[in-house]
Amino acid sequence: MSNQKVLEVKNIDFFYDDFQALENITMDVEKNKVTALIGPSGCGKSTFLRTINRMNDLIEGAKLEGDILFDGESIYQENVDVVNLRKRIGMVFQQPNPFPKSVFENVAYGPKIHGVTDKAKLEEIVVESLKGAALYDEVKDRLNKSALSLSGGQQQRLCIARALAVKPEVLLMDEPASALDPVATAKIEDLIEELKNNYSIVIVTHSMQQAARVSDMTGFFLMGELVEYDKTDKIFENPSDQRTEDYITGRFG
């Protein structure tokens, strides 16, 4: 497998008004790999995640300098269609947030917005996406039931299915398992392992063990800076920067 870059982050500075939340972040995200971002609360990892599909555009007073290339093309040019960008770079959030609609409608929602109207085609997409999210077998008999009747873990996999339904290339996950119990967490982690065959994944997690288990690459953020970015085994066995070591071993002030 070649190490193809799907994202090239180039010297990103990010500000909330006067507060600089990210400082000169530069990193490549590899295709079909899982990249984990770790660091203490407020270190900028979630802010950084949201710069990748321009979710921060919605925040008043936010300003970004630098650039991110997605498949070699800048995503911060004026002519970029942000809706299309977010279709190609999907996102899954910390709290499962299904729509108060049926399981089927939740997954079909995205494709419909993007113009799929054929019923058979929609059905095919829904089944395929639910299978992709390892949820189909559990919900196939209640596709028309409310998504809110599912368990938390199922709801989160439904949100992943919803993200998959528009056929993204990159999946951004912001602590996707932090609201779930260990069994549901294990299912999400197994799923991530499966998903990386077809998608490139960037995951923010507070659980270092989770980062160690699921990711190929790990970036450690501290006070808006990307302190260290390397292969996950290197980061957890023998990090290069003392600050990384202090953080992951808990010797941290």
Partner 1 sequence: MHDSRKSFHTELNDLENEMLKMGSVVGESISQSIEALINKDLELASKVIKNDDIIDDYELEIEEKCTRLIALQQPVAIDLRKIIVISKLVTDLERIGDNAANIAHKVLAIGDQTLIKEMQDLPGMRDIVVQQLRASLEAFVDMDIDKAKEVAAGDKKVNQLDKQIKSELLKVMENDSTTIEQGTSLMFISRFLERIGDHSTNICERTVYMKTGEWTELE
**Site residues (CB under 8 A) for partner 1?**
208-209, 212, 236-239, 244-246, 248-253
To partner 1, the closest distance from the beta carbon of 239 in angstroms equals 6
Rounded CA separation 60/48 (Å): 16
Residue nearer to partner 1 on the CB measure, 174 or 228:
228
**CA dihedral in degrees (42, 47, 48, 54; nearest 10)?**
180
At 212 the three-state DSSP class reads helix
Radius of gyration of the chain (CA): 18
With b meaning 16 or more CB within 10 Å and e meaning fewer, what string describes 87-97? Answer: bbbbbbebebe
**Nearest approach, Cβ of residue 40 and partner 1 (Å):** 10
Sign of CA dihedral 227, 232, 70, 19: negative
Of 104 and 221, nearer to partner 1 (C-beta) is 221
Which is nearer to partner 1, 53 or 210 (by Cβ)?
A: 210
- Nearest distance, CB of residue 243 and partner 1, angstroms: 11
- Name the residue nearer to partner 1 (CB basis): 3 or 238: 238
Host H or E run for residue 217? strand 217-222
The helix (H) or strand (E) run that includes residue 119 is helix 119-132
Q: Which helix (H) or strand (E) holds 222?
A: strand 217-222
CB of 233 to partner 1, least distance (A): 11
Q: Which is nearer to partner 1, 154 or 205 (CB)?
A: 205
Q: Which residues contact 208 (CB under 8 A, 6 or more apart)?
A: 38, 236, 248
Q: Which is nearer to partner 1, 204 or 248 (CB)?
A: 248
